[in-house]
Amino acid sequence: MIIKQSWIDYINSLQNNICAALEQTDGKAKFIEDAWIREEGGGGKTRVIQNGNVFEKAGVNTSLVYGKVTDLMRSQLSISGDSWFACGLSLVIHPLNPFIPTVHCNYRMFELYNEDGEVTDRWFGGGTDLTPYYLFEEDAKHFHQTYKNVCDEFDESFYSTFKKECDNYFVNTHRNNERRGIGGIFYDHQRPNEKYNADFWMSFGKACGDAFIRSYIPIVEKRKSIAYAEKEKHWQEIRRGRYTEFNLLHDKGTVFGLKTNGRTESILMSLPPTVRFEYNYQPEAGSEEDKLVQVCLHPGEWVD
């Protein structure tokens, strides 16, 4: 109970902090909030910016949802038990300028209960990953190094494990296993075990969540004033098409949300504001656009 409440409080404050940092960087846009209630239990706070100076579309959402385990959840999500609870923050930021990467993060906890309401299972999951349209190696390094530093404070094996999990998760399997972007970290189903208790995993989640602002905002600041033309915007919209394909075809979070009767507009705020799907579009070999594709096909190592 203490862990659950501590996590809920953290998620709410993280939402406030991240929204404040994004508003400051944008300089114009203010988040609007839609608080929503889920009929079967719980709800969330969806905060969205559209058409900012810097952020074309950004959503920073929290949700706290619970209910009885349904047959659909048993068969399609492999969830057992009598009832369940989930609380987390999920954000997706789509900048206007194609030289600024898109970023996604999600940190969550999950609990299952038996008929007496006792906790029978509890796990943490999360991650943050970067989706550039043009590759700046120093940005990739900064982003990965930030999360490596956090990981190393907890366990020196974490970064390489969770970096690999990220590379293996955000994959468009229908496009020769091209990754959505250049990754970051991703972990799921981290349960208390003989080495690390629930408190440890919660602290790890909080430390990752706290790293978001310093992992991403410096990149935005560095790139937000670079001039771009039609050509770069076009390429961004093509890549946003790949982002859309991943989220709708492969992302488990999207499917979980839609199958558990989450709020559709909050779940699909992740989709990019403008998108192009062109038949068989191929960037010129050796171009900056192609360089990005290559690094998505063959994930690199960004830290020493």
Cα torsion at 164, 166, 170, 174 (round to 10°)?
A: 10
DSSP output for 209-267: HHHHHHHHHHHHHHHTT----HHHHHHHHHHHHHHHHIIIII-HHHHHHHHTT--HHHH
Active site residues: 104
Encoded one letter per residue, x for contact with its own copies by CB under 8 A and - for no contact, window 115-134 reads --------------------
Please, what is the minimum distance in Å from the beta carbon of residue 265 to its own copies?
5
Give me the 211-240 binding string for its own copies, x by CB under 8 A, dash otherwise: --------------------------x---
Near its own copies by CB under 8 A: residue from 75, 280, 285, 286: 280
> Among 96-104, 158-166, 277-285, 286-294, which window interacts with its own copies (CB under 8 A)?
277-285
Binding residue for its own copies (CB under 8 A) from 114, 249, 288, 301? 249
- Interface stretch with its own copies, choices 19-27, 81-89, 114-122, 278-286 (CB under 8 A): 278-286
Q: Classify strands 32-37 and 178-179 as parallel, antiparallel or unpaired.
A: unpaired
- By beta-carbon proximity to its own copies, the closer residue of 205 and 272 is 272
Interface pick for its own copies out of 18, 22, 48, 219 (rule CB under 8 A): 48
Transcribe 117-143 into DSSP letters.
--EEEEEEEEEEEEE-SS--HHHHHHH
Judged by CB under 8 A, the chain residues 52 through 111 that form the site for its own copies are 57, 59
The contact pattern for its own copies, residues 157-196, with x = CB under 8 A and - = no contact, is -----------------xx---------------------
* Shortest distance in whole angstroms from residue 176 CB to its own copies: 9
Residue among 197 and 264 whose Cβ is closer to its own copies:
264
Distance CA 285, CA 289 (A): 8
Among 13, 277, 297, 298, binds its own copies (CB under 8 A): 277
Distance separating alpha carbons of residues 180 and 246, to the nearest angstrom:
7
For every residue of 75-111, DSSP letters joined together read: HHH---SSEEEEEEEEEEEEESSTTSPEEEEEEEEEE
The answer to whether residue 40 forms part of the interface with its own copies (CB under 8 A) is no
Residue 244 binding its own copies, by CB under 8 A = yes
Q: Which of 138, 132, 134 is nearest to 229 (CA)?
A: 134
For 23, the enclosing helix (H) or strand (E) is helix 2-26
Give the list of residues 6+ apart from residue 276 with CB closer than 8 angstroms, or none: 234, 237, 238, 240, 241
Residues in the site for its own copies, rule: CB under 8 A?
34, 48, 50, 57, 59, 174-175, 237, 241, 244-245, 248-249, 258, 264-265, 268-269, 271-280
